[in-house]
């Protein structure tokens, strides 16, 4: 297992559509372990492979540390939202957009089809925080970020912070 670096807002990988996973082998298992380790170390409750600069459709979620709702650590490969209902609004952040938080409206319950790490087909219903985290992370696989869900006006209030994150990211990349 190894700790990976989380890429930040402005990095082009965060805007790509990630590729379907077709091989369920040792490489995938290592990727999932690294995602769990990185998520835990960074105190996140969800992490998508593109956030460690791997453009593949793999996410891990574990809201257990922050909720009393039913939740568990879970890796979802090639997740698809098959159905959704209801709506809820909650403040979100993102490990790739440090220091930025905003209320996002999302469905309250979802039906998800995914593969487990062994390639087994799964279909499951999730509610509340599990649903929200899976939706946030699945968005990452399509190059979408939580700030994209905000109205133009609310997003414009964050423009300066977002630009600062991007500028820091570029500076850090220039360390020689």
Active site residues: 137
Q: Is 49 in the site for Ni ion (CB under 5 A)?
A: no
- Site size for Ni ion, by CB under 5 A? 1
Q: Which residue matches tokens 């159905």?
A: 83
* Closest CB 60 distance from Ni ion, rounded Å: 12
Measured from each CB, the residue nearest to Ni ion is: 94
Residue 69 has φ and ψ, to the nearest 5°, of: -70, 165
Q: Is 6 in the site for Ni ion (CB under 5 A)?
A: no
Determine the interface stretch with Ni ion among 86-94, 115-123, 124-132, 165-173 (rule: CB under 5 A): 86-94
- Per-residue interface string for the shown chain with Ni ion, residues 118-157, x marking contact by CB under 5 A: ----------------------------------------
C-beta closer to Ni ion: residue 24 or 64:
64
CA 164, distance to chain mean position in Å, is 21
Residue 21 neighbours by CB under 8 Å, 6+ apart? 28, 56, 57, 58, 77, 78, 115
Report the DSSP pairing between strands 58-61 and 74-85: antiparallel
Q: Is 58 in the site for Ni ion (CB under 5 A)?
A: no
CA distance 45 to 99: 16
Give the one residue of 94, 112, 117, 135 binding Ni ion; rule: CB under 5 A.
94
Residue 20 neighbours by CB under 8 Å, 6+ apart? 56, 57, 78
Determine the interface stretch with Ni ion among 60-68, 92-100, 102-110, 154-162 (rule: CB under 5 A): 92-100
- The length of the chain is 176
C-beta closer to Ni ion: residue 64 or 119:
64
CA distance 109 to 129: 9
* Closest CB 121 distance from Ni ion, rounded Å: 26
Instruction: Catalog residues that contact Ni ion under the rule CB under 5 A.
Output: 94
């Amino acid at each position: 297992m190894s700790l990976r670096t989380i890429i930040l807002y402005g990095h082009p990988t965060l805007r790509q559509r990630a590729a379907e996973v077709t091989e369920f082998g040792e490489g995938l298992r290592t990727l999932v372990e690294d995602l769990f380790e990185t998520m835990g170390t960074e105190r996140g409750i969800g992490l998508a492979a593109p956030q460690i600069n791997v453009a593949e459709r793999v996410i891990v979620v574990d809201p257990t540390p922050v909720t009393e709702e039913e939740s568990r650590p879970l890796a979802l490969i090639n997740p698809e939202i098959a159905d959704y209902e209801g709506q809820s609004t909650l403040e979100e952040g993102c490990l790739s957009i440090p220091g930025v938080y905003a209320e996002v409206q999302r469905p309250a319950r979802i039906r998800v089809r995914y593969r487990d790490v062994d390639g087994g087909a799964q279909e499951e219903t999730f509610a509340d925080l599990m649903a929200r985290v899976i939706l946030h992370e699945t968005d990452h696989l399509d190059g979408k970020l939580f700030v994209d869900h905000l109205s133009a006006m609310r997003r414009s209030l964050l423009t300066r912070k977002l630009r600062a994150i991007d500028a820091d990211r570029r500076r850090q990349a220039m360390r020689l």
